[in-house]
Amino acid sequence: MTSQALYEKVDKMRKDMDGHEIYRPPQLDVPQLTEFPVIEKDRVLKLIQNAKATTCELVPIPSSILVKQHKDVFALVIARVVNKSLSCGTFAKDWKRAIVRPLLKKPGLHLEYKNYRPVSNISFLSLRRRLRLSINSS
């Protein structure tokens, strides 16, 4: 069965069940996210201070070390760029790229596919994970 055929079958089943007494879609009370909270310079400073000094092949210079050394200069710039990206809903392509490598789950495991997990190495300035954690803690 193709994916299109599966979608059509599920859609038909839903239409057939619509209005049936046993089919009642759940009433979800989910808060709607209409805007992102503004990321302040102080929050970016804290993220920079707590970040590991790492490098990534996606960036030719050791950006995390450079940013950490000049965090007062970079914090405001990063906050403005991130806030603009969140408000516009667009992110630079470079912020979406990662180098994914397999990492053994535990030392001593057999070198089999199932014993590895993917690890993403992102550029320091992508801040994707850091921002998600930051926004979630707001």
Average pLDDT value for residue range 32-42: 82
In which domain, by residue range, is 72 found?
36-136
Query: Is the alpha carbon torsion for 127, 129, 130, 136 positive or negative?
Result: positive
In a domain, 24, yes or no: no
Per-residue pLDDT at 104: 93
Q: What are the CA-CA distances from residue 47 to residues 18, 95, 101, 133 (Å)?
A: 49, 17, 24, 10
pLDDT confidence bin for 56, thresholds 50/70/90: confident
| Length of the chain counted residue by residue | 138
Residue 3: enclosing H or E segment and its boundaries? helix 3-17
Does a structural domain hold residue 30? no
**Domain total in the chain:** 1
Residue of higher predicted confidence among 71 and 94: 71
Q: Structure tokens of 107? A: 């030392």
| Residue 47, in any domain of the structure | yes
**Per-residue 3-state assignment (H helix, E strand, C coil) for 51-99:** CCCCCCCCCCCCHHHHHHHCHHHHHHHHHHHHHHHHHHCCCCHHHHCEE
**Structural domain includes residue 101:** yes
Please check whether residue 14 lies inside any domain of the structure: no
Judge whether residue 91 has pLDDT over 80: no
pLDDT confidence band for 97 (50 / 70 / 90): confident
**66 found inside a domain:** yes
Residue 10 placed within a domain:
no
How buried is residue 55: exposed, middle or buried, by Cβ count under 10 Å (0-12/13-18/19+)?
Answer: middle
The pLDDT value given to residue 129: 54
Is residue 81 a part of any domain in this protein?
yes
